[in-house]
Amino acid sequence: MLTNYYTEQYRESLLHNVIPFWMKHSPDNTYGGYFTCLDREGNVFDTDKFIWLQCRQVWSFSMLYNMVEQKKEWLDMALLGAHFLQKYGRDREGNWYFALNREGKPLVQPYNIFSDCFAAMAFARLYQATGDKEHSNLAVYTFHNILERQENSKGIYNKSYPGTRPLKGFSMPMILSNLVLELEHLLPSTLVEQTISRAVHEVMDVFYQPELGLILENVSPEGHFVDSFEGRLVNPGHGLEAMWFIMDLGARAADQSLIHKAMNIALDILDYGWDKQFGGLLYFMDVKGYPPQQLEWDQKLWWVHIEALVAMAKGYMYTGDKRCSDWFEKLHYYTWTHFPDRENGEWYGYLNRRGEVLLPLKGGKWKGCFHVPRGLFQCWKTLKAIAGKEVVHG
Binding site for a copy of itself (CB under 8 A): 37, 39, 45-46, 48, 97-98, 101, 105-109, 111, 156-157, 159-161, 164-165, 227-229, 288, 290-293, 295-299, 350, 352-353, 358-361, 364-365
User: Between residues 38 and 203, which has the closer beta carbon with respect to a copy of itself?
Assistant: 38
Considering the complex, what minimum distance in angstroms separates the CB of residue 96 from a copy of itself? 13
- Cβ–Cβ < 8 Å for 368, 349: no
User: Between residues 84 and 208, which has the closer beta carbon with respect to a copy of itself?
Assistant: 84
Considering the complex, what minimum distance in angstroms separates the CB of residue 288 from a copy of itself? 8
| C-alpha to C-alpha distances, 90 to 27, 141, 143, nearest whole angstrom | 21, 12, 14
- Cβ–Cβ < 8 Å for 329, 315: no
User: Between residues 272 and 297, which has the closer beta carbon with respect to a copy of itself?
Assistant: 297
CA angle, residues 189, 193, 195, in degrees to nearest 5: 115
User: Between residues 161 and 210, which has the closer beta carbon with respect to a copy of itself?
Assistant: 161
CA dihedral 126, 112, 19, 87 (to 10 degrees): -50
The alpha carbons of the chain give a radius of gyration, in whole angstroms, of 20
User: Between residues 5 and 157, which has the closer beta carbon with respect to a copy of itself?
Assistant: 157
Residues 6+ positions from 180 with CB-CB distance below 8 Å: 187, 192, 195, 196, 199
User: Between residues 164 and 189, which has the closer beta carbon with respect to a copy of itself?
Assistant: 164
End-to-end, the C-alpha distance of the chain in Å comes to 13
Q: Name beta bridge partners: 301.
A: 350
Residue 92: CB atoms within 10 Å: 5
Helix (H, G, I), strand (E, B) or coil at 47: coil
Considering the complex, what minimum distance in angstroms separates the CB of residue 173 from a copy of itself? 24
User: Between residues 15 and 359, which has the closer beta carbon with respect to a copy of itself?
Assistant: 359
Residue 212: CB atoms within 10 Å: 14
Nearest to 266 by CA among 222, 191, 319, 195: 319
Residue 305: CB atoms within 10 Å: 26
One-letter identity of residue 385: A
DSSP type of residue 363: E
User: Between residues 37 and 204, which has the closer beta carbon with respect to a copy of itself?
Assistant: 37
User: Between residues 27 and 106, which has the closer beta carbon with respect to a copy of itself?
Assistant: 106
Nearest to 316 by CA among 331, 304, 301: 331
